[in-house]
Each structure stands twice: as structure tokens, then as C-alpha cells.
């Protein structure tokens, strides 16, 4: 079965994606410019969305999201479990690289980070950081992500992914990439870690592509916009 989508549906969803904080109400001209579509096409898409409750038009002919969007948001929220979003990404990344993959978030203690989820291959020697571990500030690849994106004490112009060797312990190397979530805000870091001796002999570009794609996929699952993912990860 083909996995090709339906162009009209994708265009209608693209209309909904135009509404953001600070751009809650848009004119037909605004939407046409954002979408690079003719006004007639956008008008027809909006009429369909209005009929189904996904958009509204006010007395000034400005458009906004409709109540059906809120309903779907509540349905999603009631069934949302973070592990259901994160763990499949970590499992895939670990499978692709053969190394441990982890997701870190800010801890309650300033500057520290919490290993919230982790996936480790069943065979071989691997990093021994356990889910639930709280790590102090450091210059490891993950530590640098949090310094740059959470503490805002580094340069966000540095090339991704960040890499470190022997920082947290003398025998471990890692790659890390920031993860973006709802409202296009930094929410955490995804990391590949393993023994330095083994990682010296891997296909580095392959590992880098794998973790960047994983960060993009996870960010999409956590609500990041297409625009920020293109800027951050190029995919």
C-alpha cells in the first residue's frame, strides 16, 4: 500500500499550522502569503475547516482556530504518555548505532540534568548511567547542550551534534543534540554514549546523521514546529 498522502488534506493542515502564539488571528491575505497559495485556494480550504469546526471567521473577516482543535488537544492530552513518545525514538537510535541512547531533562537542582529515559543494547560493554540518575554540570556533550540551551551560557551557533570524549569518565565518549518541544522551546537532550575505544572506529557521519534525525523525530513528537526543526536539524 502506498504511503503517499492527500494533497488537499496536507494543505488544510498547513493552514492550521499558520496559527501560533502572537498570530492567533490572521486575514486571508496573511494566510495566502504564509502558504504561498492563491487566495481562492486558501479561501476554499478555510471554508471546509470552518464547516468542520477547525477554524472560525470573525466579523472583521479574520480567521482563527476553531473549538474542534481544542477538543482534539484534550483528547491527545488525556492519552499522552511521555515514555510512549521518547522510548521508540531511543530504541530505534540504539538499534541503529549499537550504543546506549538516553533522553535528559533539567533536574530540580540548578545546572543539573536528569537521565529520564535510557535504552541500552543487551550485549557488549556500555555506558552505565541509569534512568533516574542526576548528573552535575560538566563539559560532556550532554552537559554542553544544557549549558547552551538551558543555562544560556554557550553559543547556539556551534555545529550539531556536540561530541565529547573522556569528560565525565575517562573511558566514555558521547554525541548529544538538543530537543525542542511545544512552543518551540528547549526541553532536553538526546545522547548516544559508549566506550571511547569502540567509538573511535565507528562511521562518525552515520552516527551524527542518526542522532540528528532522532532529535528531529523526537522534537516533532513533542510538538516542535516544522520551521524550528528545519533550522535546528535540517530535516
> Residue 12 maps to which CATH number?
1.10.10.10
Residue 1 is assigned to a structural domain of this protein: no
The residue behind cell 528547549 is 186
Structural domains in the chain (count)? 2
- Is residue 231's pLDDT more than 80? yes
Closest of 155, 152, 180, 183 to residue 21, by C-alpha: 183
Per residue in 18-70, pLDDT (tens digit) is 998 888 999 999 999 999 999 999 999 999 999 999 999 999 999 999 999 98
Looking at the structure, tell me whether residues 105 and 69 fall in a common domain.
no
Residue 146 is assigned to a structural domain of this protein: yes
Looking at the structure, tell me whether residues 200 and 126 fall in a common domain.
yes
Looking at the structure, tell me whether residues 150 and 192 fall in a common domain.
yes
Q: What are phi and psi of 197, to 5 degrees?
A: -60, -40
Residue 100 is assigned to a structural domain of this protein: yes
Residue 66 is assigned to a structural domain of this protein: yes
pTM of the model: 0.72
Q: Check: CB of residue 190 under 8 Å from CB of residue 176.
A: yes
Looking at the structure, tell me whether residues 178 and 206 fall in a common domain.
yes
Looking at the structure, tell me whether residues 148 and 188 fall in a common domain.
yes
Task: Look up residue 182 and give its three cell numbers.
Answer: 511545544
Looking at the structure, tell me whether residues 146 and 117 fall in a common domain.
yes
Looking at the structure, tell me whether residues 92 and 151 fall in a common domain.
yes
Q: Is the dihedral of CA 135, 137, 143, 145 positive or negative?
A: positive
The residue behind cell 560532556 is 140
Looking at the structure, tell me whether residues 141 and 40 fall in a common domain.
no
Can you give the pLDDT at residue 3? Answer: 62
DSSP lists the bridge partners of residue 16 as none
Residue 95: band (very low, low, confident or very high) from pLDDT cuts 50, 70, 90: very high
DSSP lists the bridge partners of residue 178 as 189
Looking at the structure, tell me whether residues 14 and 42 fall in a common domain.
yes
Residue 223: Cβ within 10 Å count: 15
Residue ranges making up the domain that contains 11: 7-77
Amino acid at each position: 500500500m502506498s504511503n503517499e498522502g492527500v494533497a488537499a488534506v496536507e494543505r488544510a493542515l498547513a493552514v492550521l499550522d499558520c496559527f501560533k502564539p502572537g498570530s492567533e488571528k490572521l486575514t486571508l491575505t496573511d494566510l495566502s502569503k504564509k502558504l504561498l497559495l492563491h487566495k481562492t485556494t486558501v479561501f476554499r480550504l478555510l471554508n471546509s475547516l470552518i464547516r468542520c469546526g477547525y477554524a472560525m471567521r470573525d466579523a472583521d473577516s479574520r480567521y482563527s482556530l476553531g473549538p474542534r482543535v481544542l477538543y482534539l488537544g484534550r483528547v491527545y492530552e488525556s492519552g499522552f504518555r511521555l515514555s510512549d513518545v521518547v522510548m521508540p525514538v531511543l530504541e530505534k537510535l540504539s538499534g541503529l548505532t549499537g550504543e546506549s541512547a538516553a533522553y535528559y531533562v533539567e533536574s530540580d537542582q540548578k545546572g543539573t540534568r536528569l537521565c529520564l529515559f535510557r535504552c541500552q543494547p543487551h550485549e557488549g560493554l556500555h555506558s552505565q548511567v541509569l534512568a533516574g540518575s542526576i548528573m552535575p554540570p560538566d563539559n560532556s556533550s550532554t552537559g554542553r547542550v544544557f549549558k547552551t540551551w538551558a543555562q544560556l551560557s554557550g553559543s547556539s551557533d556551534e555545529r550539531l551534534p556536540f561530541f565529547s570524549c573522556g569528560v565525565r569518565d575517562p573511558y566514555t565518549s558521547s554525541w548529544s543534540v538538543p530537543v525542542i518541544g511545544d512552543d518551540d522551546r528547549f526541553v532536553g537532550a538526546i545522547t548516544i554514549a559508549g566506550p571511547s575505544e569502540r567509538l573511535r572506529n565507528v562511521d562518525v557521519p552515520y552516527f551524527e546523521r542518526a542522532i540528528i534525525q532522532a532529535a528531529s523525530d523526537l522534537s516533532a513528537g513533542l510538538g516542535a514546529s516544522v520551521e524550528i526543526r528545519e533550522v535546528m536539524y535540517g530535516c
